Chain A
Amino acid sequence: MAIELRPLEQFTIERIIPIHIGGLDLSYTNAALMMTIAVIFATALMVLATRRAALVPGRWQSVAEMLYEFVADMVDSNIGQGGRQFFPFVFTLFTFILFANLLGMIPYSYTTTSQIIVTFALAAVVFILVTAIGIIRHGFHFLSLFVPHGVPKVLLLLLVPIELLSYFIRPFTLSIRLFANMLAGHTMLAIFGGFAASIGLFAFFPTAINVLLVGLEFLVAVLQAYVFAILTCLYLSEAVHLH
């Protein structure tokens, strides 16, 4: 009885409601379904938990308040002055990624953040927003970001392309970091799970490792949402407080 190991099967995209408009495939897929669920859960948590707001918070209200304070703290300490106007954006981003990551931890569900197109779309939104804010606030002066201070003119020929490159690489690092972590983690879980299923009597050991890995994956799920949000804050801070 051979059990086939297909650790990547979990990332297959299936069309739930096929929609084809023109040459475009706009089908509603299982990935889209999980995103919808993540949005519904996040909204439900915030709305329901704060509907009957009490001075002494109940369980759900304290979860919502902790989430709020955590992000508010992050925004305050990383963007500083004038950062509060970006709070809704950072908060939405953080909660969405957090819920998408955590919902992916439920067996037989689907991890949307393991699709690079999803994380890249999120990162592209951040990148465009940061660039637009920089240009709106500072105009042409924004381009001085790419010209290092106090460097001989000749070296600028070399340094400006490097600076430009390291700026335009940001959406890629931002999206690949989240995508790679989720993909690698879930693949690893599937491999150890399939391993345990195929060796019978000694399955105890891979199962034990898998239990530990699940714990690690929860850590990664929360941490990656945090890293994504804090980098967004750093980039915003830079665009806002340009010299």
Chain B
Amino acid sequence: MSEREPPDPLAGLGERIDRARAERVREQATVGDRSAVQQGVGFGLRIGIELVVAIGVATGLGWVIDRWLGTQPWGIIVLFFLGIAAGMLNVYRAVSGIRAPVGFRKLDGEGAAGGARPDAWDDDEN
């Protein structure tokens, strides 16, 4: 009568852990995809309005200045073009992923905010 050994609880444990890990990585990859899509949609909604509002607000400001100083039509003309420039600047910055929306310099990642921060908007570029 041979003594039957109880099954080793640790047998195959490493394999099981590996399998679970692989599954988890795969899961995270799909989650990442989804949040990239979500960010893309948010990004699109954000860009769409940027240019229009910039031009509208600037032109409105020009109109107010004109009425205030009596300089028709120069305020509207000048501020209309400045508004186009400002709107394009905002769109360009948002698209190119420069962190600091105002001011032409890039924020250096290591000094400013602790290492390479994952850029929320960069996901759409690849």
Q: Which residues of A contact B (CB under 8 A)?
A: 77-81, 83, 144-151, 161-163, 165-167, 169, 172-173, 176-177, 180-181, 219-220, 223-224, 226-227, 230-231, 234-235, 237-238, 241, 243
Q: Which residues of B contact A (CB under 8 A)?
A: 38, 41-42, 45-46, 49-50, 53-54, 57-58, 79, 82-83, 85-87, 89-90, 99-105, 107, 112-114, 117-118, 120
Taking a contact as CB atoms under 8 Å apart, the answer to whether A80 and B112 are in contact is: yes
Taking a contact as CB atoms under 8 Å apart, the answer to whether B86 and A77 are in contact is: no
How many A-B contacts are there with CB distance less than 8 Å? Answer: 106
A162-B85, A165-B54, A165-B83 given; A230·B101 CB < 8 A: no
Best-surrounded residue of A166, A219, A235 (most CB of chain B within 10 A)? A166
Chain B residues positioned under 8 Å from A145 (CB to CB): 100, 102-103
Taking a contact as CB atoms under 8 Å apart, the answer to whether B89 and A241 are in contact is: no
**Minimum Cβ distance to chain A for residue B74 (Å):** 14
A149 to B99, CA, bound (A): 15
**Minimum Cβ distance to chain A for residue B30 (Å):** 18
Chain A residues positioned under 8 Å from B49 (CB to CB): 173, 176-177, 180
**Minimum Cβ distance to chain A for residue B34 (Å):** 12
Contact of B118 among A77, A176, A231 (CB under 8 A): A77
A-B contact pairs, 9 of them (CB 8 A): A144-B103, A147-B103, A149-B105, A163-B89, A169-B57, A172-B53, A223-B38, A231-B46, A241-B107
Chain B residues positioned under 8 Å from A220 (CB to CB): 45
Contact of B53 among A150, A173, A231, A243 (CB under 8 A): A173
A139 to B4, CA, bound (A): 80
**Minimum Cβ distance to chain A for residue B97 (Å):** 11
In the complex, what residue of chain B is closest to A151 when comparing beta carbons? B104
Best-surrounded residue of A80, A151, A165, A230 (most CB of chain B within 10 A)? A165
Taking a contact as CB atoms under 8 Å apart, the answer to whether B99 and A237 are in contact is: yes
Given contacts A172-B57, A173-B54, A226-B42, 4 further A-B contacts (CB under 8 A): A79-B113, A162-B85, A169-B57, A223-B45
Chain B residues positioned under 8 Å from A77 (CB to CB): 117-118, 120
Chain B residues positioned under 8 Å from A234 (CB to CB): 99, 101
**Minimum Cβ distance to chain A for residue B71 (Å):** 16
A66 to B63, CA, bound (A): 47
Taking a contact as CB atoms under 8 Å apart, the answer to whether A166 and B102 are in contact is: yes
Chain A residues positioned under 8 Å from B101 (CB to CB): 166, 234-235, 238
In the complex, what residue of chain B is closest to A77 when comparing beta carbons? B118
A80-B114, A163-B103 given; A169·B38 CB < 8 A: no
A165-B83, A223-B41 given; A146·B53 CB < 8 A: no
Chain A residues positioned under 8 Å from B120 (CB to CB): 77-78, 230
A235 to B94, CA, bound (A): 12
Taking a contact as CB atoms under 8 Å apart, the answer to whether A224 and B54 are in contact is: no
A165 to B45, CA, bound (A): 21
Chain B residues positioned under 8 Å from A219 (CB to CB): 41
A223 to B41, CA, bound (A): 8
**Minimum Cβ distance to chain B for residue A219 (Å):** 8
In the complex, what residue of chain A is closest to B38 when comparing beta carbons? A223
Taking a contact as CB atoms under 8 Å apart, the answer to whether A166 and B90 are in contact is: yes
The 6 lowest CB-CB distance pairs between A and B, nearest first, are A80-B113, A148-B104, A166-B86, A241-B112, A165-B86, A173-B53
Taking a contact as CB atoms under 8 Å apart, the answer to whether A148 and B105 are in contact is: yes
A230 to B119, CA, bound (A): 11
